[in-house]
Amino acid sequence: MVVNKKLMRGYSGRISLTNYDRTTIVLHWLTVALIIVLFALAESWRFLQHGAPLRKEFQSLHISLGILLAVVLATRLGWRATRGRRLPVAVTGLQEWAANGMHTALYLLLTVQIVLGFSFRVHPGSYGLLAEFSDHHPD
């Protein structure tokens, strides 16, 4: 990886690694933790019998944490757009383009996942928003 050292130089001329602010870091790791727990809940409740109390608790917790994830994502995007610290560009050219594209793709995929989660909750037993475009509706 080619590092653009000129863009990372501090006032003294030394290379200094800057860090994200504490709020950005907390929001990042809270997002990661929520995604892991939400995934684990969704994967584990299918091994429980339909109607089992624990299965319903897992589903309720999944919904609650999904709402929290939506709030965290909105807060994260708002913070990033207004007060979050922007680090200097560390790479240039194709690597910079790829890094920015991947960052944007991850935010978009996370947003789509949240929208689908809300959609499936609003339209239970269907494909959510996709039900409008599908002839097949599961029972």
Please list, in sequence order, all residues whose beta carbon lies within 8 angstroms of the beta carbon of residue 79, skipping any fewer than 6 positions away.
23, 24, 27
Q: Are residues 100 and 54 in the same domain?
A: no
Judge whether 10 lies within some domain. no
Contact, 34 vs 72, CB < 8 A? Answer: yes
What is this structure's pTM?
0.72
Q: What is the pLDDT of residues 35-90, one digit of tens each?
A: 999 999 999 988 989 889 999 999 999 999 999 999 999 999 999 889 877 777 77
**17, two tokens:** 């690694």
Radius of gyration of the chain from its Cα atoms, rounded to whole angstroms: 20
Residues 96 and 121 in one domain: yes
Do 44 and 77 lie in a common domain?
yes
Q: Which residues contact 89 (CB under 8 A, 6 or more apart)?
A: 4, 7, 96
Instruction: Please check the confidence at residue 21 and state whether its pLDDT lies above 90.
Output: no
Of the three residues 87, 108, 130, the one that is the final residue of a domain is 87
